[in-house]
Amino acid sequence: MTSEANADIDARARERLRSDEAAMTGSRRKSSLPLSGAWREFWRHPSPWFIGTTLVGALVARLVVGDWRLTDAIVPVIMVASFPFAEWIIHVFVLHWKPRRIGTVTIDSLVARKHREHHADRATCRWCSSPGPH
Ligand SMILES: [Zn+2]
């Protein structure tokens, strides 16, 4: 991809992100999505089905094996509690990595470039698990 094409994607992504943030926090805030609507939208994406299938498979395997321990209950609670923070950290520091120059070398990861493309055109996010800006 050319540097002009990357600059265009970056500009569109910045504008889209600014618009999304204004819609969420600004005075022109859109009405919120009801929980039932978010729930329906969530299940229209493939990742909840992948995660749900894996969870059911793991539960069935655990039931077959038996030998329940306290950690079988604690580990999932810790994972569910920590996941939003891990997701946020990855999103902010990895997906929203801004290109940085070190001498003549520009460091700009493929995943960050793809994420900027997604912000420029949300239709490219077919693997997203939830509605709204990501
Ligand atoms: Zn994002």
**Measured in angstroms, how far is the CA atom of residue 96 from the centroid of ligand 1?**
6
- Span from the CA of 95 to the centroid of ligand 1 (angstroms): 6
**Cβ-contact 134, 91 below 8 angstroms:** yes
Q: How many angstroms separate the Cα of 89 from the Cα of each of 45, 85, 86?
A: 22, 6, 5
Flag whether pLDDT at 130 surpasses 80.
Answer: no
Q: Supply the pLDDT for residue 127.
A: 53
5, 3, 2: which is closest to 121 by C-alpha? Answer: 5
List pLDDT tens digits, range 23-81.
666 665 556 778 898 888 888 888 889 989 999 999 899 899 998 889 988 998 999 99
Ligand 1 centre from 116 Cα, in Å? 7
Cα of 75 to ligand 1 centre, how many Å?
28
Count of CB atoms within 10 A of residue 75's CB?
11
pLDDT digit string, tens, across residues 105-128: 999 998 888 888 888 776 666 556
Dihedrals phi, psi of 101, to nearest 5 degrees: -100, 135
Ligand 1 centroid – CA 93 distance (Å): 10
Tell me the mean pLDDT in the region 13-29. 69
Distance 132 CA to ligand 1 centre (A): 10
Q: How far is the CA of 67 from the centre of ligand 1 (A)?
A: 42
Residue-level pLDDT at 86? 95
Q: Average pLDDT in the 15-23 region?
A: 73
Strands 105-107 and 100-102: antiparallel
* Residue 83 clears pLDDT 80, i.e. is over it: yes
